[in-house]
Amino acid sequence: PTPLPFAAVDLGASSGRVMVGHVGPGTLGLTEVHRFPNTPVRVGGTLHWDVLALYRGVLDGLRAAGRATGGRLASVGVDSWAVDYGLLDADGALIGNPVHYRDTRTEAVIAKVAETLPPSDLYAATGLQYLPFNTVYQLVAAQGTAALAAARGLLLIPDLIAYWLTGEAGTELTNASTTQLMDPRTRDWARPVADTLGIDLSLFPPLRRPGDPAGALLPEVLTETGLTGPVPVTAVGSHDTASAVAGVPARGERFAYIATGTWSLAGLELDAPVLTEDSRRANFTNELGVDGTVRYLRNIMGLWLLQECLRDWEARGQTVELGELLRRAASCAPLRSVVDAGDPAFIAPGRMPERIAEACRGSGQPVPRDAAETTRCVLDSLALAHRRALMDAQRLSGRAVDTVHIVGGGAHNELLCRLTADACGLPVVAGPAEAAALGNILVQARTAGTVIGGLRESRQLLCETQGLRHHVPSGDIRAWERAEARLAKEEQPCG
């Protein structure tokens, strides 16, 4: 049979993209039809997402998808970054611009939440790692605001985009699991947590699971994009990391993944959550994945550190080209200085080269002297954080791995992949860079009956069709152990 065309809308923190995947038996071809920047806007002292600009990018992308497929799509799926949301009024209109998770407004309520609900109880109920921007903190910070008082609905970002495309509201499960308002054992709302914190769960529309139907493109969207209806929209792993993990080309079960883009999400795919106190102290999260899986992982700052350095250098008039910078970084002395790439102190934007230099100075290490050395410091630090996360994940879950998969934009970064293989002492399989779009499309293709089976069969198809690069560990693992000792400080969960 002729392969069917599916469109993935994948909104990352650094860029949004619309990809078309042609899927058939033994076939999975992916084409990027549109990519657009995702540039936050600070206004009135608050950092926002420019959500209408993103929606315009989605419409432009669907129009481009239509041009690439003769106007016909078998289905569309939407995924994006986690935790953030838009509020809807009684007419279903968006109230204000969604706030960016890097905004600092939650700082004021972290201690208050911990007093109301001890961190160990919150973890036992939700299994979510402490991150200051978890939706739970955002909603407590919003208490008492006119916007929340007027709200009659709350949609997480991919659900908001899907609502605008279809007119139908739902809360997709994998992304709902990043709110810290879900119980990973029941895969349903953690009602006692919401009640204790005064959060109204009725704002969330009913839950949907990846693979569920989620409406069809509205007539106005068809007109705007030139697509021929009906075009169904399918719920996918709407958390981009859930789709990225579904897009990992793993053979068998003994694998770890690192989804590296703006963030590095490093961990394991499990059948059940790990809710122990040790796990909480190590700041591991139990996010929900497709097909009843648990994504047991730690958030690491990721290439955000490098993106922010580049933004800073460019603002100072320095021209820095990423490829050239990475080539120079590859020739720098290894592990000269490392920073804790898990430290939430790096979450906020601004002054990144200076903050990295301060962290090196503060821990008695040499300060990077130029852009290449700063880049090497970032990549060594990320590889070290990848190593720590994967060793901790294995210890805490009792699951051993023999292969590390790197997916996401960072899979293009050969130096990062090589350093990660060296630091972990494990072979690294790099690619696909667009795993989130592929995971998104594979879930749609399963609903359409184009791919038969579950994650195993989808991954088999990825192995057969995607170009992958292999990195064998080399070098001295003791150098990484010594660098780790330099950063011996324990992970610092809240409380």
Q: Which residues bind ligand ADP (CB under 6 A)?
A: 12-15, 261-262, 303, 306-307, 322, 408-410, 412-413
Q: Which amino acid is at 219?
A: P
Question: Judged by CB under 6 A, which of 58, 83, 245, 461 binds ligand LRH?
Answer: 83
Q: Six-digit token pair at 476?
A: 């001295």
* Residue 388 site contact among ligand ADP, ligand LRH, none (CB < 5 to 8 Å, cut-off depends on kind): none
Question: Judged by CB under 6 A, which of 238, 264, 293, 299 binds ligand LRH?
Answer: 299
C-alpha span between 228 and 161 (Å, rounded): 20
Among candidate residues 28, 1, 149, 25, the one with its CA nearest the CA of residue 465? 28
By rule CB under 6 A, what string of x and - marks binding of each residue 247-286 to ligand LRH? ---------------xx-x---------------------
Q: Phi-psi region for residue 190, left (φ > 0), alpha (ψ -120 to 50) or beta?
A: beta
Do the beta carbons of residue 59 and residue 227 sit within 8 Å? no
Q: Cβ 182 to ligand LRH, closest distance in Å?
A: 14
* Residue 365 site contact among ligand LRH, ligand ADP, none (CB < 5 to 8 Å, cut-off depends on kind): none
Question: Judged by CB under 6 A, which of 241, 283, 293, 413 binds ligand LRH?
Answer: 241
Q: Cβ 388 to ligand LRH, closest distance in Å?
A: 17
| Strand residue runs (E) in 115-162 | 153-156
The three-state secondary structure class of 425 is: coil
* Residue 101 site contact among ligand ADP, ligand LRH, none (CB < 5 to 8 Å, cut-off depends on kind): ligand LRH
Q: Which stretch binds ligand LRH (CB under 6 A): 137-145, 192-200, 235-243, 312-320?
A: 235-243
* Residue 14 site contact among ligand LRH, ligand ADP, none (CB < 5 to 8 Å, cut-off depends on kind): ligand ADP
Task: Give the bridge partners for 95, in sequence order.
Answer: 87
Q: Cβ 469 to ligand ADP, closest distance in Å?
A: 12
C-alpha span between 383 and 455 (Å, rounded): 28
Site residue total, ligand LRH (CB under 6 A): 13
Question: Judged by CB under 6 A, which of 49, 55, 85, 101 binds ligand LRH?
Answer: 101
Which element (helix H / strand E) includes 297? strand 294-300
Residue carrying the six token digits 């590889």: 383
C-alpha span between 427 and 402 (Å, rounded): 7
Of these residues, 79, 103, 240, 343, which one is catalytic? 240
* Residue 83 site contact among ligand LRH, ligand ADP, none (CB < 5 to 8 Å, cut-off depends on kind): ligand LRH
- Is 240 labeled as catalytic in the residue annotation? yes
Q: Of the two residues 232 and 273, which places its CB atom closer to ligand LRH in the complex?
A: 273
Instruction: Give me the phi and psi of 148, to 5 degrees please.
Output: -70, -35
Question: Judged by CB under 6 A, which of 6, 49, 55, 81 binds ligand LRH?
Answer: 81
Task: Give the bridge partners for 21, in sequence order.
Answer: 6, 30
For position 130 contacting ligand LRH by CB under 6 A, the verdict is no
C-alpha span between 257 and 24 (Å, rounded): 26
Task: Give the bridge partners for 28, in sequence order.
Answer: 23
How far CA 70 is from CA of 4, 67, 260, in Å, comes to 12, 6, 34
Q: Six-digit token pair at 169?
A: 């509201």
Task: Give the bridge partners for 30, in sequence order.
Answer: 21
* Residue 127 site contact among ligand LRH, ligand ADP, none (CB < 5 to 8 Å, cut-off depends on kind): none
Q: Of the two residues 232 and 432, which places its CB atom closer to ligand ADP in the complex?
A: 432
C-alpha span between 452 and 375 (Å, rounded): 44
* Residue 158 site contact among ligand ADP, ligand LRH, none (CB < 5 to 8 Å, cut-off depends on kind): none
Q: Six-digit token pair at 463?
A: 């192995």
Question: Judged by CB under 6 A, which of 5, 12, 86, 289 binds ligand LRH?
Answer: 12
Applying CB under 6 A, which residues contact ligand LRH? 12-13, 81-83, 101, 239-241, 262-263, 265, 299
- Active site members: 240
